[in-house]
Amino acid sequence: MNRLFVALALPEHVRSALTRLRRGFPGARWVAEENFHLTLRFIGEVDNRSMDDIAERLDRVREPGFDLEIDGFGCFETKGKVRALWARVPANEELLHLQRKIDTALDSVGVPRETRKFKPHITLARFKDAPLDRVNHFICESSPFRVGSFPVGSFTLYRSFLNRDGPIYRPEVVYPLDGGDFSDPYFDEFRDGEDYEFEESEAAS
């Protein structure tokens, strides 16, 4: 089985700027720099045939490239205990339209819809019941955060692997947007969007 999600990768300078926010915070599990992303749609576990169908449908999505920015931080909390710290990304119309088109593509191959409203963010750290006041203090100390707007030139189908050191996210297919900018060397290996192949050892579903 393959655990999949669709996301936007971040340019190198944005990932580096977010990494520099890390500092002493007992109990924080910081996301590795190479794992920073903005999730557009979580898919979950699917077999190889479904993965092929998903990859093919996503290839039909045609949208122009656009710019995004980070304008602050927030957290997911329940009853005063924080589970995750994230960077906030304003949802402009281009981002929302791309996300809806991806939803429609996945609907067509039977992927169940997300029940949660789309809230664009970049997860920075996870906690096990961190006190809200402590996280709010971190947010205040880290604001304002300025990295400027950055181009979005593609979206990516990822496969995730879990191990005891944390998840590994592997790009399976990178889908260029019209007029997309592939200047970030992070995308070089996947630039053509043709790396979607299974090894024989992965064939069992």
**46 within some domain:** yes
Instruction: Name the residue among 149, 166, 5, 7 with its Cα closest to residue 90.
Output: 149
**202 within some domain:** no
Known catalytic residue at 37: yes
**200 within some domain:** no
Instruction: Name the residue among 184, 25, 31, 193 with its Cα closest to residue 121.
Output: 31
Query: What residues make up the domain containing 116?
Result: 2-195
CATH number of the domain within which 21 lies:
3.90.1140.10
Write down the catalytic residue from 13, 97, 121, 137. Answer: 121
- Whether 187 shows a pLDDT value over 60: the answer reads no
Domain count, the chain: 1
pLDDT at position 199: 30
pTM over cut 0.75: yes
Mean pLDDT, residues 98-119 taken together: 95
Long-range contacts: 127-130, Cβ < 8 Å, 24+?
127/27, 127/28, 127/29, 127/82, 127/83, 127/84, 127/85, 128/27, 128/83, 129/81, 129/82, 129/83, 130/25, 130/27, 130/28, 130/81, 130/82, 130/83
DSSP reduced 3-state for 38: strand
Known catalytic residue at 13: no
**86 within some domain:** yes
Q: Could you give the angle at the alpha carbon of 82 between the alpha carbons of 80 and 116, nearest 5°?
A: 100
Q: What is the CA radius of gyration of the chain?
A: 17
Enumerate residues 6+ apart whose C-beta is below 8 A from 133.
none
Instruction: Name the residue among 87, 71, 57 with its Cα closest to residue 173.
Output: 57
**162 within some domain:** yes
pLDDT at position 197: 35
pLDDT at position 181: 59
Find out whether 61 and 27 touch, Cβ atoms under 8 Å: no
Q: What is the pLDDT of residues 17-75, one digit of tens each?
A: 999 998 767 778 999 999 999 999 999 999 999 999 999 999 999 999 999 999 999 99
Q: How confident is the model at residue 178 (pLDDT cuts 50, 70, 90)?
A: confident
**36 within some domain:** yes
